[in-house]
Amino acid sequence: MLKCLLLKKIKKNILFYYFFFFVLNHVVWAQKIKNSKDNCGILPEINLSDNNFPGFQNPLKVNYALSFNDINSELGSQIDSTLIVKFEKWISSSSLNISGQFELEKNFSSSSSIDFFNVISEQLSYNNAWISLSIGRLDIGDILSPSCFFGDYSTMGIRHLDGLQITIPVNFKMGITNYKRMETLSSSISFFYFPSVFKNIYVNENGVQDYFLGQIRVNLINKSSILRVNFGKSINQFYAYSIMSGHWNISSAINFNLTKQFSFDVEYGSQDTSHWVNSSVITYGLNFKKMIPVVNDFLFKKIIFEIQSPLGLTLDNSFTGGNGLLLSKAQMPQTSFFFEIKSKLNFADLIVCLTNSQGDYTFSRLNEGNAFSPIDTLLVNSVGYSNEIKNLDIYLSSNSYKNLSYLVNLEVEF
């Protein structure tokens, strides 16, 4: 039995990667043929003395930052320092790109060892005028949602996932040949495949946890607004009221860039359309950006304020405080908020965040005390994480709607 499952897993992974690189190979060769025809079949002459060699044109870009965090959340208090490394490399003169971000995190102590090594993102991408392919650990937060903390309801609040992305631009402006410096397309159709959306200790890679997601993205009102419509479905049923219910889920978001400094966004989501009302939620967000001198070298940069309101009130939804096992421990979902202020010092950025969110509509709400587990492993912890702060890649949640959790972040880039 174990041998059969292992063979199925190997076969599935081989077919998956073969399909990706088969498509990628044909797209690359199609582009080469087109370029060859455009140049009458003559390859451009390479002169090393003129730095025309692809390796000189596309150097490896690496950015470093050192971050200090003071966190008070439902998990307790923590002070740590984190080394952040971001890299990007265009492969030769083709449209292949490798990019990623990893972090070395160490709690304040007498120990010199690293406590956590986190791979935030790492992906291989191919970008063309008519298609974009990416595989690896994808940064999907900004793609699916304009929100900075709440939102991303089609992934239970998850902003980074391992999988495959295919994007087809719509109404693309013709005549652009420098795809590497092209701005992110506003109108497009995207498809995503994720082998699992659970924590690694609960992952089963034999295909039973497959999750598929699609998106339609439309440019509105002279590019000042973007409409996103996301729809997804899991292969099998795991948890009702979630995206892994085996039923369709849907979310939609629109952001309005009212001025260069001020924007407003609204996002709606139903994580299980078979329980449409009781799994529905809406988020409102305000974003204000402007450099305002305060005192000496201290500058104000940005304020973000978001409110998340449940549209369904039930004690059965384990992802909003409900408890289908012991009703006496269940609680109704309540409105939550998130606040962030960012300031610029002479040498660093200072960010302060506050929230009373308990992680509603995320996998962090699920545990062994409020739901049965269809996963083979016993639920000793939640199957996922709470909401993640955009750009900081830090999870933050409170232990009560009446209590506040906070984060103070000081980051220096070098």
Pair of tokens at residue 149: 């903390």
Residue 260 tokens read as 């260069």
Average per-residue pLDDT for the chain: 82
- Residue labelled with tokens 């070098």: 414
44-60 pLDDT, tens digit per residue, is: 333 433 344 344 456 78
State residue 154's pLDDT score. 97
- The full DSSP string for 282-313 is EEEEEEEEEEEEEETTEEEEEEEEEEEEES--
pLDDT in tens, 354-410: 999 999 999 998 877 777 666 655 566 678 899 999 999 999 999 999 999 999 999
Residues 95/182/162/371 CA torsion (nearest 10 deg): -160
Q: Would you say 147 and 306 are in contact if contact means Cβ atoms under 8 Å apart?
A: yes
List, for residues 159-214, the tens digit of each pLDDT value: 999 999 999 988 645 434 444 444 444 689 999 999 999 988 888 878 899 999 99
Q: Does domain 45-413 have CATH number 2.40.160.10?
A: yes
Give the pLDDT score at 153: 97
| % of the chain at pLDDT higher than 90 | 54
Largest CA distance in the chain: 77
Question: Both ends of the chain: CA-CA distance in Å?
Answer: 54
pLDDT band, very low/low/confident/very high, at 28 (cuts 50, 70, 90): very low
Structure tokens that stand for 61 in this block: 């870009």
Gyration radius of the chain's alpha carbons: 23
> Quick one: pLDDT band at residue 336, thresholds 50, 70, 90?
very high
Which amino acid belongs to residue 164? L
Number of H-type helices and E-type strands within the chain: 3, 18
- Higher pLDDT residue, 291 or 314? 314
* Cα separation, 169 vs 282, whole angstroms: 28
**Beta carbons of 292 and 299 less than 8 angstroms apart:** yes
Q: What backbone torsions phi and psi does residue 173 show, to the nearest 5 degrees? A: -75, 115
224-281 pLDDT, tens digit per residue, is: 789 999 999 999 999 999 999 999 999 999 999 888 889 999 999 999 999 999 999 9
Q: How far apart are CA 143 and CA 378, in angstroms?
A: 33
pLDDT > 70 in the chain, percent: 78
Cα separations (Å) of 90 from 65, 99, 111, 136? Answer: 22, 9, 38, 16
